[in-house]
Amino acid sequence: MNGLRARLLSTLAGQLGNPHGLLGKGVAFMLNRGNKRAIAAAVTAAAITESETAADLGFGGGAGLSLLLDRVGANGIVHGIELSADMLARARAGYPRETAAGRLRLAEGSLTALPLADDSLDAAITVNTVYFVPELDAVCTELARVIRPGGRLVIGIGDPDAMAKLPFTRYGFTLRPVADVIAALEKSGCVVTHEQLPNPPIPHHLLIATKPA
């Protein structure tokens, strides 16, 4: 029984990091539902305005894409970067008009290798993603690279102490103290402010990084 439980939890953890296949469809729904409040708060914290260029990096189920499209308006651009080919296909099917018009630009990529030019984004969000990448400094350097001077980046993470109590986070998750993520962002040259969301059952932290102009 313990071996079966471990395999099930490991499978769930792997799907959370890279949703795919039939199971991935259910995980996408779960991600959108479970992360909705944190994603909405990250979009608000990014202070996105009309006609800007914004991105959801590691968008998963895609809940953040519609929020960003609403924020940038008809003349803005939203980039959606995702590691999972299945989640990219899901987003393309869900937003055919936006992708055809070029308002939504979807591409495969990771947090350490973003298919975006230097200084190309006014704002970006990435929520519940950094647990799955071991190279935190490389992530923050890459995120800072694609944000223009004066631009905003919001990293959303679950409280590490609360996350550690979940049975699946021991499989493939790297849970870091919030201070370590802030330090990595500051090392990349950003100025960081910290907001907390009392979001039961998992409180969340928003790390709002501004790239100096």
User: In one letter, which amino acid is 159?
Assistant: D
Mention the CATH class of domain 1-211: alpha beta
Q: Find the helix or strand (DSSP H, E) in which 78 lies.
A: strand 77-82
For residue 86, CA distances in Å to 30, 154, 208 come to 15, 25, 29
Q: Is the pLDDT of residue 201 over 80?
A: no
Nearest Cα residue to 91 out of 128, 140, 56, 39: 56
Rounded to whole angstroms, the Cα distance separating 123 from 162 reads 28
Rounded to whole angstroms, the Cα distance separating 79 from 77 reads 7
The string of pLDDT tens digits covering residues 163-181 is 899 877 887 889 999 999 9
Segment 121-131 mean pLDDT: 96
The string of pLDDT tens digits covering residues 77-118 is 999 999 988 889 989 999 999 999 999 999 999 999 999 999
Work out the burial of residue 75: count CB atoms within 10 Å of its CB; fewer than 13 is exposed, 13-18 middle, 19 or more buried. Answer: exposed
**Per-residue confidence (pLDDT) for residue 176, from 0 to 100:** 95
Token couple for 63: 């809940």
Token couple for 118: 């230097």
What residue spans define the domains of the chain?
Answer: 1-211
